[in-house]
Structure 1
Amino acid sequence: MTTIGYPYTLPTTGNVSFQEFFVLNAQYQRPVSDATAFRGRLRTALKEHKHSDRHDFLNVQKALEDYIPFLFGLVAGIENTELELSNEVETTWRCTISNIALSSKQPQVKHKSIHYEAIFTLLTLGYVLMDRANEYAQSVQNKILIAIGDISSYGKGHGEGSSSVGANHGANNTIHGSGSIPGSSSATSSSEFSIGISNSSNANSGNSSSGGSSGGGGGNSASRLFKKSSSNFSAKNSNTIGEFTDYLTDDDLAAIDHQLTTAADLYCKAAGVFEYIAQDMIPKWSNNSHITSTATAIVTTTQDVAGLNVNKSLSSKKFTPESIRPVDIQTSVVSAHIRLALAEAHSCTVRKAAIKAARASAIRQLISSGSSTVASGTTPKTSYVLLAKLTIGVKEEYERAYGLLKSVKDLNEISSDFRAHVKDAKVYYEALAQTLLGMDAYEAQHYGKAIGFLSLARTSFAALSKASKSHTIAQAAAFEYRLSNEKVIAFQKINDSVTFEQIPTQAQLLAVMPSGRDLLSSKKYMPPRPNFGIAATAGEGGQGGADESVKKLAYALQGAYF
């Protein structure tokens, strides 16, 4: 299974000098000046990241972590009146989740509040953690694609260059009760692939030799996925279904396990940051007396429309504190980020287990056929049903996220790409769960049920690879379509010649799908102690310093992820 984390665009911010907003005595001139300097460094890092071809997320994260203690010092100083304001702190951030209307750029939004600055800074930290996790997850997929010799075809995305074995099998391209499978019209040479059945069966399968791949992918687009002769296990059993794990060494699998563990940890940390914003910072902003008293005159949105700067002042109207905020920092949208982060953390953990299950399944098949000398006791079995339940849990997290997005007063304010990603991810993970249920039925030798579930998954993957507006999901669906298509064809051959089981209808299959299960929780964000002021020296700071965070722990390492 392929993870599909949303690729967040990091916001950028305008220049600001904090000295302009305070009446400073000698004690606070240096720390406030340092806060301005570290914010300037963060702004530079974000600008460089935006204009660079190679994104250095660690550099941005370091700049954020250096600036946040100074920012929390400002927040604590304002809240406990330690710092005297001459003017309300006003900063500008470019929104990246807001929809782009009549403009090629996201809107720059200016607000008067130190909490606005703190929320957007922490939101940027959450985005960075999500993007770092996405990089680890993508590196796993690249390693798999390189191992099976298929990186060129997958890189094209949206199904381009992907090969589909047995596409001209008339009976194989239909699901009992559900019609034809879209995107399965390409023909592939039977000599190019072995789908786990003997070569003589392939020769009689009716495949034409019109080329090795569809979509003009070139000669290198055909993967080695089902060429069992090149497998590390050198399969002799003609009834063995090929798995991509056959082409990964033990070192590869260990590296994949580490990368997925790291990705899951980063996703959980990001969820903790988003949770802190939604449960702590946004309520503080709403309850702050300065915000509620000036909520009618603090927002100016600047957009570049057709080369002209258009300022839309909202000061003449009455608004609630939530409605005047950009959609990026509304509670529902931030809460949706929590659900997405947890969903992908769950997905990474399930993917680790699924890879191990595929590896163990292939080894057990070889042991049963006498093709391997590995002891049977060394191949623990992972339940595909359990993996399916956990994957359905991922789908349900995306459903919750989409429900939160729909609670926004005007859904069109949210980026269409973001909405499409969340919506299509629900379908994608449901199809992955159906794939796992199909593999469970296959291991139980219920070929009719296996064909039914895998065919449902194949239909969904084919539709997503062609129609999804999310490039990430379209790429992943194209790859998963190929895997499910290969298995459907192989299982149908066995069922048509040996088992003759009836294939359940779509309604029957959906009725027996299990409910989802959760696996991980967010990793609590521990805000740093402010770098200056009373909160920096007191045992417990106004922003929940390190000592306060430790005191609140019920047990050692609470909130840690392993």
Structure 2
Amino acid sequence: MTMYSFEIPTTATISFSEFCHDQSDRQDYVSRLPEVTQARANIRATLKEMKATENGGKDYLTLVKLLEEYLPQIQGVMDCVTHDKIGFKSEPIFSWKSTLSSNILKSSRISLPGLHADYAFTLLIYGYALSNLAWSMVEGLGAYEQDRAISDELRKHKDKELNVAVDHLCKASGIFAYIADTVLPAWDVNRTDGPPGFNRPPELIREVNTALSKMVLADAQTLAIRRLQSKSAYESNIAPGPPLPLSHPSPSLLAKLHLECASLYASSRSLIKSVGASKSGDNTAIVSDLRKHLADETALHNALAHKWLGVFAGEKGGSEKGGEAVAFLIWAKKELEELKDSGKIALGKGEKEKHDRRKAKLSDEITSTSLFLKQYKQMNDSVHFQPVPPQSELQRVIPAGTLARKTTPYTPPQPCFGPNSIEYLRRKTEELKAKDDTKDGAGPQGPPPKESPHVGKYSGAGAYF
């Protein structure tokens, strides 16, 4: 069970003052444009620094913070353009490198027309950064649940960190979905034809972003399964195999969670393939390591689902499920061994250490599956005497998957300035209130009337004829 580590794109410098001009009556946004330029320049500098840094030293948290500072500003510019507060001297062209296309040279940048394209790429990097931040957190945790000397307090602390990583992935899933469902359709409406020879990169294709949303949600589900098993994994490490410890989650639930992971990865893979994974000479062709990762994780989670369906039948199914337990575990063991022997588990970026850890994880799963299989086979051969059904019959009893965590919908932050900003709305409210006061005859109060001279109390006092 591995997470995909995204390669972060880089971008070229750009000055918003060069192609934007303030059309507001009071020239409210002249000073804002250099601020937007600086915020974007900060991101560019960090991206360049990260490109020259080894994986373990990349500061994804800083990148996330810089992106969260820039997004309200680019949204402010977009709102101002929509409401004719800011106009264009020329069509803005933003330059980005594609890291998902297998047919675009890594050293080449793509010129992308329109603010929405830059907004989409910025959000894309936001999703990448959150996903990679989660990945780096998980790497830092290590296999803590397998540590026999770990204290209960420390294990709970690491469980909380794992939960934070899950939250990051769910948020990233929502960002990718927002790009696919909102940003890219808006770009299609607002963009021009683009520069000559423009081909849309995979990063700006709706199906690709939907696929990424599903993939990182599956990654989140994978971590949620790990979190669910953390306590029982420690106890099972001391006494592996059946019977399950009391702290162990339901094998049926684990099977359904793994089935949902497999479904999400498979759906993501299908979407990726639909946009040109097998084409050559097309910018939309997706890098092979991403496609391989999706295929590997689909196969792995299916195998683990079959394992836990077998354990559920063996632990909870009674004598009539003895043959089914053996059949599922034989199937799972076969799939796991094929994964290990055929090298289907992705090498990622060629990091041997990570590959070795994956192989070790597979070996552990094979050992665990073999222990359950040996025990349940002995019971079935000596006590239950149930026939072992063929794989075709097992297909009919596989349940639907269950989702542990949902995508966190992305809500854009309030723009820093422009017609939808808090400051703009406050000022407009005050102006309307002032107009209403004037219309109603209200205004500055004049000096109080002078006090009348003393008037007597006799009849007709103060009346002069």
Q: TM-score range by the shorter chain?
A: 0.7 to 0.9
1:487 aligns with 2:362: no
- Shift of the 404–475 alpha-carbon distance from structure 1 to 2, 3 Å rule, reads farther
User: What CA distance in whole angstroms lies between the structure 1 residues aligned with 2:378 and 2:177?
Assistant: 55
1:392 aligns with 2:259: yes
List runs of 5+ in structure 2 lacking aligned partners: 280-284, 349-353, 427-465
Residue range with higher mean Cα deviation, 508-517 or 14-23: 508-517
Q: Quick one: which amino acid aligns to residue 388 of structure 1?
A: A
Deviation at 1:425, TM superposition (A): 1.4
More helix by share: 2
List runs of 5+ in structure 1 lacking aligned partners: 148-245, 300-312, 316-323, 370-375, 541-562
Deviation at 1:382, TM superposition (A): 2.4
User: What CA distance in whole angstroms lies between the structure 1 residues aligned with 2:239 and 2:337?
Assistant: 30
1:533 aligns with 2:433: no
Contact 1:99–1:416 at 8 Å: present in 2 too? yes
Structural RMSD (CA): 3.1
1:264 aligns with 2:166: yes
Correspondences of 1:398-477 after superposition (within 5 Å): 398-409=265-276, 411-412=278-279, 413-444=285-316, 448-465=323-340, 466-468=342-344, 470-471=346-347, 477=358
Q: Which residue of 2 aligns with 1:91?
A: 94
Q: Report the 3-state secondary structure (helix = DSSP H, G, I; strand = E; otherwise coil) of the residue aligned with 1:27.
A: coil
- Shift of the 505–249 alpha-carbon distance from structure 1 to 2, 3 Å rule, reads farther
1:62-120: CA deviation from partner (whole Å, max 9, x where unpaired)? 1111111111111111111110210011110111111145x4x2641111201101000
Q: How many residues align?
A: 403
- Shift of the 386–125 alpha-carbon distance from structure 1 to 2, 3 Å rule, reads same
User: What CA distance in whole angstroms lies between the structure 2 residues aligned with 1:43 and 1:460?
Assistant: 44
1:8 aligns with 2:9: no
Q: Which residue of 2 aligns with 1:478?
A: 359
Q: Report the 3-state secondary structure (helix = DSSP H, G, I; strand = E; otherwise coil) of the residue aligned with 2:10.
A: coil
Contact 1:447–1:491 at 8 Å: present in 2 too? no
Contact 1:19–1:32 at 8 Å: present in 2 too? yes
Q: Quick one: which amino acid aligns to residue 13 of structure 2?
A: N
Q: Which residue of 2 aligns with 1:274?
A: 176
- Shift of the 330–523 alpha-carbon distance from structure 1 to 2, 3 Å rule, reads same
User: What CA distance in whole angstroms lies between the structure 2 residues aligned with 1:128 and 1:479?
Assistant: 28
1:190-229: CA deviation from partner (whole Å, max 9, x where unpaired)? xxxxxxxxxxxxxxxxxxxxxxxxxxxxxxxxxxxxxxxx
Q: Report the 3-state secondary structure (helix = DSSP H, G, I; strand = E; otherwise coil) of the residue aligned with 1:328.
A: helix
Contact 2:314–2:376 at 8 Å: present in 1 too? no
Deviation at 1:247, TM superposition (A): 5.4
Q: Which residue of 2 aligns with 1:111?
A: 112
- Shift of the 358–23 alpha-carbon distance from structure 1 to 2, 3 Å rule, reads closer
Determine which of 392, 412, 419 is the counterpart of 1:507.
Answer: 392
User: What CA distance in whole angstroms lies between the structure 2 residues aligned with 1:107 and 1:423?
Assistant: 28
Contact 1:261–1:349 at 8 Å: present in 2 too? yes
Q: Quick one: which amino acid aligns to residue 395 of structure 1?
A: A
User: What CA distance in whole angstroms lies between the structure 2 residues aligned with 1:283 and 1:130?
Assistant: 24
Contact 2:325–2:376 at 8 Å: present in 1 too? no
Q: Report the 3-state secondary structure (helix = DSSP H, G, I; strand = E; otherwise coil) of the residue aligned with 2:404.
A: coil
Deviation at 1:23, TM superposition (A): 2.5
- Shift of the 139–514 alpha-carbon distance from structure 1 to 2, 3 Å rule, reads farther
Q: TM-score, normalised by structure 1?
A: 0.65
Q: TM-score, normalised by structure 2?
A: 0.78
User: What CA distance in whole angstroms lies between the structure 2 residues aligned with 1:468 and 1:368?
Assistant: 31
Q: Which residue of 1 aligns with 2:51?
A: 50
Contact 1:384–1:437 at 8 Å: present in 2 too? yes
Deviation at 1:270, TM superposition (A): 0.6
Correspondences of 1:220-369 after superposition (within 5 Å): 248-288=150-190, 291=191, 294-295=192-193, 298-299=194-195, 313-314=196-197, 324-358=199-233
Q: Report the 3-state secondary structure (helix = DSSP H, G, I; strand = E; otherwise coil) of the residue aligned with 2:112.
A: strand
1:339-367: CA deviation from partner (whole Å, max 9, x where unpaired)? 11211222222222233444577899999
The higher radius of gyration belongs to: 2
1:298-353: CA deviation from partner (whole Å, max 9, x where unpaired)? 24xxxxxxxxxxxxx416xxxxxxxx421111000011111112112222222222
User: What CA distance in whole angstroms lies between the structure 2 residues aligned with 1:511 and 1:474?
Assistant: 35
1:483-520: CA deviation from partner (whole Å, max 9, x where unpaired)? 23323443455467664155443333333222212232
Q: Report the 3-state secondary structure (helix = DSSP H, G, I; strand = E; otherwise coil) of the residue aligned with 1:28.
A: coil
User: What CA distance in whole angstroms lies between the structure 1 residues aligned with 2:218 and 2:327?
Assistant: 26
Deviation at 1:476, TM superposition (A): 6.2
Deviation at 1:140, TM superposition (A): 3.9
- Shift of the 70–367 alpha-carbon distance from structure 1 to 2, 3 Å rule, reads closer
- Shift of the 81–384 alpha-carbon distance from structure 1 to 2, 3 Å rule, reads same
Contact 1:354–1:387 at 8 Å: present in 2 too? no
1:27 aligns with 2:28: yes
Q: Quick one: which amino acid aligns to residue 77 of structure 2?
A: L
Q: Which residue of 2 aligns with 1:63?
A: 66
User: What CA distance in whole angstroms lies between the structure 2 residues aligned with 1:495 and 1:409?
Assistant: 46
Q: Which residue of 1 aligns with 2:77?
A: 74
Q: Which residue of 1 aligns with 2:404?
A: 519
- Shift of the 141–509 alpha-carbon distance from structure 1 to 2, 3 Å rule, reads farther
